Amino acid sequence: MYDRIQPTALLLGAGVSAGAVVYTLREMGISIPEDMSVVACSITRQQDCYGIPLTAVQIMRQEMAEAALFWLEQMWAGDKYPKKALVPSQLEERGSVCPLLP
């Protein structure tokens, strides 16, 4: 019928949930990054306690707050059209992602 496709990567939210996922993967015998690549959203101090440094997408919170305030001011001034904001981010490679195969 259908072949089961096993995921090879996970994108995790920040905080305790990332630790729970890392712990569960280990309990299941899944190695990071050999069997499963893991990327977290934002870097927290807690991630150093997981036993493996997680690669993370770091979102620039100051710029995100400034964009939100700008669009709020625009809405208060009467602008009612939907808006998009591009908020800078960076990838911090810490070794939890397996290289892509050729």
User: In the chain, how many domains are there?
Assistant: 1
Among residues 31, 76, 29, the alpha carbon closest in space to that of 52 is found at 31
pLDDT above 70 (res 28): yes
Instruction: Classify residue 65: in a domain, yes or no.
Output: no
Q: What is the pLDDT of residues 52-87, one digit of tens each?
A: 788 888 888 888 899 889 988 988 999 887 778 888
What does each C-alpha distance from 38 to 24, 54, 96 come to in angstroms? 13, 7, 6
What is the identity of the amino acid at 72?
L
Please give the single-letter amino acid code of residue 82.
Answer: P
The answer to the question of residue 20 being in a domain is yes
Domain limits at 54?
A: 9-60+88-92
pLDDT band at 48 (very low <50, low <70, confident <90, very high): low
Task: Tell me the C-alpha distance between 98 and 68, whole Å.
Answer: 35
In a domain, 3, yes or no: no
Choose between 9 and 4: higher pLDDT: 9
Does a structural domain hold residue 77?
no
CA dist 84 and 102 (Å) reads 35
